Structure 1
Amino acid sequence: MTSLITNTSAFAALQTLRSVGSKLHDTQTHVSTGVRVEKASDNAAYWSIATTMRSDRTAVSAVSDALGLAAAKADTAYEAMEQTGTVLSQIKAKLVAATEDGVDKSKVQDEIAQLVQQTVTIANSASFNGVNWLNTDVHDLYEADPKDRSASLVSSFVRNADGTVKVDMMSLDQIMTSLYNKEGGGILDGDPRSPLTIGGMRNENFFTTDITNDYSTTNVWPGGAAGKSFNFTAPVTFSNTDKITFDVTVDGDNPSQGLSSPLNPGFQTVGVTIDRALINSTLGRSDGTISDNVQMVKVLNAALAGTGASASWYTDQYGNVIPDRYQIQTLETSGLDGSQMQISNYSASTSLGDLGNVNTYGALGSVQTLYFTPFKIYRDVSLNFTFGVNDEATETHTIDRTTINSILGTTDGWINTADDMVTVLKTLITRPNTIIEANGSQILVRSDPLDDRLNGAKTEIGFRNMIVNIEPLPMSGLKAVDVEKNPGMVNAYLASVESMLGRVIDGAAILGSLKNRIEMQTEFANDLIDDISSGIGRLVDADMEVESSRLAALQTQQQLGVQALSIANSTPGSILKLFQ
């Protein structure tokens, strides 16, 4: 009986001691390693998550390193772009100086040439680890797909909800930063994307005749009021009996224009008389003399008052007054559709040059001639314009690569012929009874005269608000600037440099924004690494305070177990002594 009790006590003590020993081993491991989930058997779910997140932490750390490299590239390009802007400002100042009379343009050109070479040096030197965003080698820069001309930079490592992973990228379109491109097209190379006259829709700006690639935004063709010019040889003196009389009719419809009936015969016919009394009262004289064509115009306007016609001196196409000549034209204030100036029943006792019977009409309807030249719409170019006839509401349209290719069934954005241009305009312009047709290399845009009965200055047709999104463009490359060989092109060079400077500023702004984004992304990546590490710790790290307390308790339990086992083992001997 005693043996049975003793064996049972010893076994229980031994089991307890083994259990405590196992727990003590685990706790000692937790304390020594600081980890409570070290292998899958510790906690399969937490171990799996922790292992995955450790891998992700390594990937994010690699992203942080890549962002550091990207930051170095961006810093290099940004500093170089800012320096380029400074140099362009200096070139601009030299060009302004070259506009002054008496300036030695050869010396100015020497300074400009050195500054231009400095931009080349800056572009060549703006390289980090072999990567240069300012001196590029992109085939057909402006036609290349943006993804093919863009520099890619690692942005972030992403694990999606479905467990898939990817590396996000940020991109930099080098069209915004390329100063010099191997095939041309860089900011300082000159821009080839101008649509020129847009197939004749717009004209060169005659106010800046030395600057090419500078166009007017308006090309409207107004009609002209009916009128006739006359010769006049001064002076002319009217005696007390001299008199000129005639009748004036204005703004009747022209029977030869093929208009449908009824035709309006014009504003009421008004009789006109010119005599010595009229001349003296109009000019403040007493001798009845008209000394020149300016006085002749004053006398005629006094005589024509209330007729719907007026006189003016005659000018050439440049606005210069031609001596000994004047004209009489309708004022077109009658409210009628026609534009007519008719002098009839002319009677004169003296001569006012070749003034006499005449009947003239203005042109029917609105007509504009476009002088077509081929042009191309590049991938990222769009142009807007409004089209209108007379005082009607205008319509607004956009021409871009997609529009051209869709209308013509092409892919390259070219409008090569006047017939192609006619097809494009006919598709876009929706005004009823507008006739658009090719005439060789010219294009006629007009209102249908069967629909538009207006004549003369009441008619107007054309294009307004022609805006190209990429203009103004540099006329030529920076290396082509030569004020010594081309002194008449200084303003053109100045306009080009100003355009280049604007684009360099835009490029610097893009790079500055990229720098800021990289810095923010780097800070976020570092914070994310810390957060992932913290998250892993919450899953698998041991609570050292709890584990230490548990370790002390288990060590006490182990000591008590050893004592219990010792007591159990010594018990039989004690009992046997009782029987001795």
Structure 2
Amino acid sequence: MSSILTNNGAMTALQTLKSINNDLSKTQAIISTGKEVASAKDNAAVWAISKVMESDVKGFQAISESLSLGESTVSVAREASEQITDLLTDMKTQIVASQGQNVDRTKLQTEIEAYTAQIESIAGAAQFNGLNLLTSGDDVEILSSLDRSGSNAPTASTITVERQNLSLTSTGGTAATFGGTAVTDTTIISNGGGNAGTAATVAAAGTQVVAIESVADGNSYRITLNDTAAGGNDTLGERSFEYVANADDSAASVAAELTNQIANFFSVTGESNYSVTRDGDEITLTNNGAGTVSLNAESATGGTAGVSAGGLGDLNDIDVTTDEGAAAALASLESMIDRSIDAAASFGSVQSRIETQASFVSTLTDSLKSGIGSLVDADMEEASARLQALQVQQQLGVQSLSIANQAPQSILSLFR
């Protein structure tokens, strides 16, 4: 039956042509954008995954910049440490020469002071973007990675760079008054679990731990060692070591300052009955002698911070113009050479680690980009073939619709 009101052939051809045109529009969009999944409507799940990965890529690009900045900072500190080590080694020649009796120690002292001034200049200038790792202060954290576990929020990982104090500057602050009428704060330092100001007796082969409990600008810290009592080693006498914290100090840096003072004194004087080490904010004194020693840790508030002598501060005290000074200088310099070597080695190790991490982050970023591409990028060869096929189908659809639309014309012949 033929009808001029309902043309089933035309309707079928029209629906087919609409479907072809819709597929053709999608294919053209894929070719123009280069993406199989360009928006959430194309494939919501794949699009969501790709966006999370893209955000991680941007995060790793920022991490790469952080690593580059950190590597440059550590590189400056390492090179400065190596140069300081070379200068200290050259200075050792002058100090060794001063051990003799028939040398001009005054001229040797002048050369030593010139070396000292150069070392101080290098230590002060070894900064990158305002950060100098050869001074005291908190350790530096360098952003190194962005860790993600499943659907959990990512967490940042860091590489810790320990400062290596090779400075020489020393300007005295004003310590708070200890004992007597002063108010002693017994919460900012712990003497082996006891309150500040409580003396402890360290027996032969024994140890004693002093912990820095808290730090604030102007807090004063003092450790006093005394082995003159009956049964003591009686080689040290009574010695006090003090430090006044500033606003940039941490518990670890205060402990480091006090440890360095004590260790330097032992080195310069040749004291072998005692040794001192630090672990974070804890200072451990070890009694290597046969007798005892008294350790008294005190703290007080209300001081004025200065700039303490750095790790090479003993260079300022070297004086080879006397027999005693020349002998002490040799022992002191050996300790400082070891310190500068350790500093350079520490920076070198960290720099190598940063370089390795930077290479990994670069490779990881490329892998993430490849993964995103495999999810959302279009197969252009396939898209090209599909486009040509759809264009042919479109032409056939138009032709088919044209034929279907002409069918009712044949009915007119029945009425002639």
The reply to whether TM is greater than 0.5 is yes
Give the corresponding residue for 2:346: 510
**Structure 1 residues 248-287: aligned runs within 5 Å:** none
Give the corresponding residue for 1:549: 385
Give the corresponding residue for 2:95: 95
- Aligned-residue sequence identity (percent) comes to 38
Q: CA deviation at 1:578?
A: 7.9
Corresponding pairs, count: 322
Q: CA deviation at 1:62?
A: 0.5
Contact 2:124 2:167 in 1 (8 A): no
Give the corresponding residue for 2:316: 479
Give the corresponding residue for 1:159: 148
Counterpart AA for 1:85: T
Report the Cα distance in structure 1 between the residues aligned to 2:77 and 2:30, rounded to whole angstroms: 51
**Structure 1 residues 396-435: aligned runs within 5 Å:** 414=296
Equivalent position SS for 2:3: helix
Structure with the largest fraction of helix: 2
- Going from structure 1 to structure 2, the CA distance change for 1:94 and 1:376 (only over 3 Å counts) comes to closer
Q: CA deviation at 1:201?
A: 4.8
Report the Cα distance in structure 2 between the residues aligned to 1:211 and 1:541, rounded to whole angstroms: 67
Q: Deviations over 1:115-146 (max 9, x none)?
A: 0000100011101111001134x4xxxxxxxx
Q: Deviations over 1:382-417 (max 9, x none)?
A: 4265979xxxxxxxxxx9xxxx9xxxxxxxx7369x
Give the corresponding residue for 1:111: 111
Report the Cα distance in structure 2 between the residues aligned to 1:168 and 1:376, rounded to whole angstroms: 28
Rg (Cα) greater in structure: 1
**Structure 1 residues 167-566: aligned runs within 5 Å:** 167-174=156-163, 176-180=164-168, 201-202=232-233, 204=235, 212-217=268-273, 379-383=282-286, 385=288, 414=296, 477-484=314-321, 486-566=322-402
Q: CA deviation at 1:97?
A: 0.9
Contact 1:38 1:47 in 2 (8 A): yes
Report the Cα distance in structure 2 between the residues aligned to 1:182 and 1:173, rounded to whole angstroms: 21
Give the corresponding residue for 2:123: 123
Report the Cα distance in structure 2 between the residues aligned to 1:379 and 1:183, rounded to whole angstroms: 25
Q: CA deviation at 1:518?
A: 0.9
Q: CA RMSD in A?
A: 3.4
Q: CA deviation at 1:565?
A: 0.8
Residue 569 (structure 1) aligned to one of 390, 402, 405: 405
Unaligned runs of 5+ in 1: 139-148, 185-191, 219-374, 389-398, 405-412, 417-473
Structure number with the bigger relative contact order (C-alpha 8 A, sep ≥ 6) is 2
Report the Cα distance in structure 2 between the residues aligned to 1:566 and 1:527, rounded to whole angstroms: 58
- Going from structure 1 to structure 2, the CA distance change for 1:22 and 1:92 (only over 3 Å counts) comes to same
Report the Cα distance in structure 2 between the residues aligned to 1:127 and 1:536, rounded to whole angstroms: 40
Q: Tell whether 2:3 aligns with 1:3.
A: yes
- Going from structure 1 to structure 2, the CA distance change for 1:528 and 1:554 (only over 3 Å counts) comes to same
TM value normalised by structure 1: 0.50
Counterpart AA for 1:569: N
Q: CA deviation at 1:12?
A: 0.6
Q: Deviations over 1:402-438 (max 9, x none)?
A: xx9xxxxxxxx7369xxxxxxxxxxxxxxxxxxxxxx
Q: CA deviation at 1:213?
A: 3.1
Contact 2:53 2:368 in 1 (8 A): yes
Q: Deviations over 1:446-467 (max 9, x none)?
A: xxxxxxxxxxxxxxxxxxxxxx
- Going from structure 1 to structure 2, the CA distance change for 1:150 and 1:127 (only over 3 Å counts) comes to same
Contact 1:376 1:414 in 2 (8 A): no
Report the Cα distance in structure 1 between the residues aligned to 2:232 and 2:413, rounded to whole angstroms: 129
Report the Cα distance in structure 1 between the residues aligned to 2:345 and 2:226, rounded to whole angstroms: 29
TM value normalised by structure 2: 0.69
Which region of structure 1 is more displaced relative to structure 2, 74-83 or 519-528?
519-528
Counterpart AA for 1:481: I
Q: CA deviation at 1:182?
A: 5.6
Give the corresponding residue for 1:32: 32
Equivalent position SS for 1:155: strand
Q: CA deviation at 1:381?
A: 2.9
Q: CA deviation at 1:567?
A: 1.4
Q: CA deviation at 1:61?
A: 0.5
Q: CA deviation at 1:94?
A: 0.6
Contact 1:211 1:489 in 2 (8 A): no
Counterpart AA for 2:270: D
Give the corresponding residue for 1:255: none
Contact 1:40 1:47 in 2 (8 A): yes
- Going from structure 1 to structure 2, the CA distance change for 1:386 and 1:557 (only over 3 Å counts) comes to farther
Report the Cα distance in structure 1 between the residues aligned to 2:342 and 2:286, rounded to whole angstroms: 21
